Structure formats: structure tokens, C-alpha cells
Amino acid sequence: MLVTRTIRRKMEFWLAVLAVVLGGLAASSITGLTSYKQTKKDLELSIQSAPRSADLATAISLLIRPCAIDVPMEPGPARDSAARLQMREFEQAFQTARNRVDDFRSRLDSLSITHRNAALSETHRALFARIDDTFAHLEAAGQCLTRSDRDRQERFILQNAAALLGTIDSIPDPAMELSDRLALAEREYRWRLAVVWTTSVIAAALFLGLAVCGYRWVFAPLSALHQGALRVADGEDFDFRIESRTNDELSELADAFNRMTARFQQVKADLDQQVHQRSRQLVQSERLAGVGFLAAGVAHEINNPLSAIVGAADSLDWRLGEHLDKFPPDDAQTVREYLHMMQTEAQRCRQITERLLNFARGTDTERNLYDVTAIVQEVVGMTHHLGRFRNRQVLVDRTDPCYAWVNGPEIKQVVLNLVANALESTGESGRVSVAIRECPEHVEIGVTDDGVGMTQEVLEHIFEPFFTRREAGKGTGLGLSISHRIVQDHGGSLEASSPGKGLGSTFRLRVPRQAGKQRAA
């Protein structure tokens, strides 16, 4: 089940396991200390009930007290009476001493094995053996206190009792030894208790710190990554960026996610722009097709009347040439102007219809490798000879050859149209820049001017036939349409852009570098 859960659940589970382990260790330590404390209490009780060497010495001292009874030295009833009294007192003292020694021995034997010193126990065992042996001799000596050699028996009793007291004084007191061990156990218990509580507090603090750091360093960044990924995947907000300040792999992952989102957003914007451009091109192509059919029909129908008008005007000019001298000078001049106007405008109409026919039919001319730089330089050289553009400046950023698979005259016509339009849109001291850039798949020609610029509405209709911003009679509106058609036939693209009105314009022409990239006309 843990495999199917989230990372957060897994880490919470292992933190809980760690908490249980730490709690178990702390509980075990505290339980051990509690048991140790109980043992210490048992030791205290053992000390309270433990026999003391002073009690044993007091019991032995009882054997000396009967010897202090004054017994006359001269034989007689008084001596015998005193001797019998001394013997009875000794028997009572002996019995009391034996009882106390037996009580001492039983209390010593009742001590826990863990509370007794092995060496001291052996010493006590030897002492009790000596006491038993001495008591046997003392009991026999006590029976002889009424005899004539009682003085020797009395000295024997005193000597053995004194020897036992000296031996007892040289043996450590069991209670004192247990007290020392109790003091040592008390110090060790307090030290271990302090260590347990200190380590428990440190472990708890480390666990809390681990939990907080785990949340800040792992849980929160992972949650942010998860929420951000879901937010972007659901398409809610592609501007969303994940902020991570952990300075580790998660931070690098968040940065990579942000870069991926930015790249995706850029690709989406590019695709949207391409869709918009393709839609415009499709609409443009449909319009051009319709206009082409219309233009072909109109041009064909108009060409015959225009030919008749041009022929009639030429014939009339020839026939009136020898008779105009008979007319008044003003009338003759007027006739000549009208005839010239008829011929000029008729010829202009024929040029327009010819361009319409070319536009409708399209071209299927031969293509080859042409130096685009040379074509641009030739066009720029032609514009220098146009008087109305003498105050303009045309700059080309490249002189090295740059080859593309094109029809040279057609591309020359396109470049000339773009440069002429750029010069037309600039004023006095205007500037036109032509940039040639060589790319892996195509050659790009950028024509930029600092002229009147274009609005968004103009940009949407700039390549439509008969669309022009010039004054009436100064343009047909077919130049950019024909140029766009030529570039499309080459398999390239022609795009227009402008920051706005009065901010200049830029036209970018792209043509393929190799054969096979152009589309069929």
C-alpha cells in the first residue's frame, strides 16, 4: 500500500516510525532508570535491615561483663557463692551473646547476593567459624568458673573475648559498605538520569528540527512543484512560475520547470502566431485567386478597346501633324496636349492590364543560384539615380556574396519594390537599411525604414491587391501583392511589421538557399 501513496505520505510514515523508535528508546531508558531506582530503594531497605559490626561487638562485650564481678581470693563460702553468681551471669551473657551472634548471622545471610561483597562474605564466614570455635571454648571455660583454677579460666575468657573484639573491629562493617555502594549508586543514578533526559530532549529537538526542515526543504517544494505542474497541465495559467529558495536539486528542478514552462509558452505563442499568419495567408490566397480571375477577365476585355484607342490616337496624331500649323497656336498646343494625354494614359492602362495578366497567370520561370548581395547592390545603385530620392540614404550591411536558389529578375523586382516603397515612406534625409542574413535553410533580406510606419489595420491588408496608402494616381496597389505572389512561388515568405504609425516599418524577405525548397506555382 505504501508504494501507491504520495511521497508526502511515505515521508510522514517514516517520520512516524522514527518517532516510535525514539519513543521506544526513551521509554526503555526511563524504564531502566526506574528499575535502577527501585533497586536503589531496595538497597536502602537492605542497609536499614543490615547487621552492624557494633552489634556484634556489643554481643561479644557481654562476655566480659561477668568477669567484672568481685570474687574473694580466699577459699570459703563467700568465694564459692560469688563464683556461682559469676558463672550464672556468664551463662546468661553467653546465651545472650550467642543469640545476638545468630541474629547477626541470619540478618547477614538475608542480604541479597547482589548487595554483598564476595570477599567480605568470605571474611565473615571465617569470622563466624572462629566465633563458633571460641564460643565452644568459652562455654567450657564458663563451666569451670567455680573450680579452683577459675582465675586461669577467667583470664582465658577475657583474652578470647578481647581477641574476638579486635578481629571484629578489623572487619569492615556491612552496613557501611552498603552505604558507600548506595552513595555510588545514587550518584550514578543521577548522572544516568541527567544523560537520559538530556539525550531525550536533544532527540526530541532534533526530531522536531528534522520535521520542520523536511517540511520546508522537501514537503513545501514538492507540493509547489506538484501544484504548479497541475496548474500548467490544466492550462489555467502558463505565466505561473515556481519560486524555490532551497538551493538544492529541488531548486534546480523548479528552475528547469520554469524554463520548460517559459519555453512552452514561447512555443505556444509562436504556434499561435504561425496559425494567425497561415490563416491570413490562406485568406490572402483566396482573395488573390478571386482577384486574379477577375483581373484576367477585365484585362482581357479592356485590352482590345485600349488597343483601338492607342491606335486611333497614334493615327490621329500622325494625320493632324501636317494640319496643326494651320490652327491658331493656342489651339494647336491644346490639341497636341490632349493627344499626348490620350496616348500616355492609354499606354498606362495597357501597362496596368499587362501587370494584371501577369499577376493572374503567375510565373514559372527558370531558377538558379544567384548572388542576393549583388542583386541588392544593383537595386540600391538604381535608386541613387532617381532624382526624387537623392536626399535619402540607403545602407547595405553586407558586401560578401550570398547565394540563393531564385529567379534573379523576379527577386530583383521584389527588392526594388520594397526599397522603393521604403524610400517613398521616408521624408527628407530619410534612411533605409538593408540587412542580408544567411541562415541554414534560407537567405533573409530585411528592409527597414524610419518613415511613416503602419498601423495594425494597414498590416492586415498590406498584401491585398489594389490596397495602397498613396494618393490617387500615384500607385495601383499591386506592387506588394505581386511581390508576395513571387516570393510564395519561390517557396519563401514576405512579412511586414511596424511598431506603429510614425515609427518606421520593416519588410523581411526569405528565399530558399537550395533547390527543391520552393513550392509549385
- Write down the pLDDT at residue 501: 87
What percentage of the chain reaches a pLDDT higher than 90? 9
Give this prediction's pTM. Answer: 0.42
The 8-class DSSP code of residue 514 comes to S
Q: Does domain 53-172 have CATH number 1.20.120?
A: yes
The CB-side HSE value for 512 (13 A sphere, CA atoms) comes to 16
Picking from 20-29, 410-419, 427-436, which range would have the lowest pLDDT averaged per residue? 20-29
Closest to 286 measured CA to CA, from 463, 153, 458, 139: 463
Helix (H, G, I), strand (E, B) or coil at 489: helix
Residue 192 has pLDDT above 90, yes or no: no
- Write down the pLDDT at residue 512: 92
When pLDDT is averaged across residues 455-468 and rounded to a whole number, the result is 80
When pLDDT is averaged across residues 184-200 and rounded to a whole number, the result is 76
Model confidence band, residue 1 (pLDDT cutoffs 50, 70, 90): very low
Determine the Cα–Cα distance for residues 293 and 299; give it in Å rounded to an integer: 10
480 within 8 A of 462, measured Cβ to Cβ: yes
Q: Which residue has the higher pLDDT, 360 or 27?
A: 27
Question: 246 is written with which cell numbers?
Answer: 532551497
Residue 454 has pLDDT above 50, yes or no: yes
Each as own residue / partner, the long-range contacts of residues 175-183 (CB below 8 Å, 24 or more positions apart, any chain) are 175/47, 175/50, 175/51, 175/52, 177/117, 177/120, 178/43, 178/46, 178/47, 178/50, 178/111, 178/115, 179/47, 181/43, 181/115, 182/40, 182/43, 182/44, 182/47
Model confidence band, residue 444 (pLDDT cutoffs 50, 70, 90): very high
pLDDT in tens, 133-177: 777 777 777 777 666 677 777 777 778 777 777 777 666 666 566
Determine the Cα–Cα distance for residues 115 and 36; give it in Å rounded to an integer: 13
Distance from the Cα of residue 390 to its chain's centroid: 62
- Write down the pLDDT at residue 371: 93
CA torsion 65→69→75→77, rounded to 10°? -120
CA torsion 149→150→151→154, rounded to 10°? 140
Whole-number mean pLDDT of the chain? 75
Q: Which residue has the higher pLDDT, 54 or 293?
A: 54
| Crossing angle of helices 408-425 and 479-489, rounded to 10° | 140
50 within 8 A of 178, measured Cβ to Cβ: yes
Determine the Cα–Cα distance for residues 166 and 105; give it in Å rounded to an integer: 18
Residue 463 has pLDDT above 50, yes or no: yes
Residue 510 has pLDDT above 90, yes or no: yes
- Write down the pLDDT at residue 367: 80
Residue 451 has pLDDT above 80, yes or no: yes
Closest to 346 measured CA to CA, from 316, 388, 387, 320: 316
- Write down the pLDDT at residue 521: 40
pLDDT in tens, 265-307: 788 788 888 787 777 666 666 665 566 666 666 666 777 777 7
CA distance to 218, 357, 473, per residue, from 415 (Å): 60, 21, 23
- Write down the pLDDT at residue 455: 87
Model confidence band, residue 372 (pLDDT cutoffs 50, 70, 90): very high
478 within 8 A of 472, measured Cβ to Cβ: no
Each as own residue / partner, the long-range contacts of residues 19-26 (CB below 8 Å, 24 or more positions apart, any chain) are 19/207, 22/203, 22/204, 22/207, 25/203, 26/196, 26/200, 26/203
- Write down the pLDDT at residue 520: 41
508 within 8 A of 444, measured Cβ to Cβ: yes
Which residue type does 70 have?
D
156 within 8 A of 141, measured Cβ to Cβ: yes
What percentage of the chain reaches a pLDDT higher than 70? 71
Determine the Cα–Cα distance for residues 386 and 92; give it in Å rounded to an integer: 158
CATH architecture of the domain with range 365-521: 2-Layer Sandwich (3.30)
Question: 242 is written with which cell numbers?
Answer: 515556481
Percentage helix, strand, coil, to 5, in the chain? 70, 10, 25
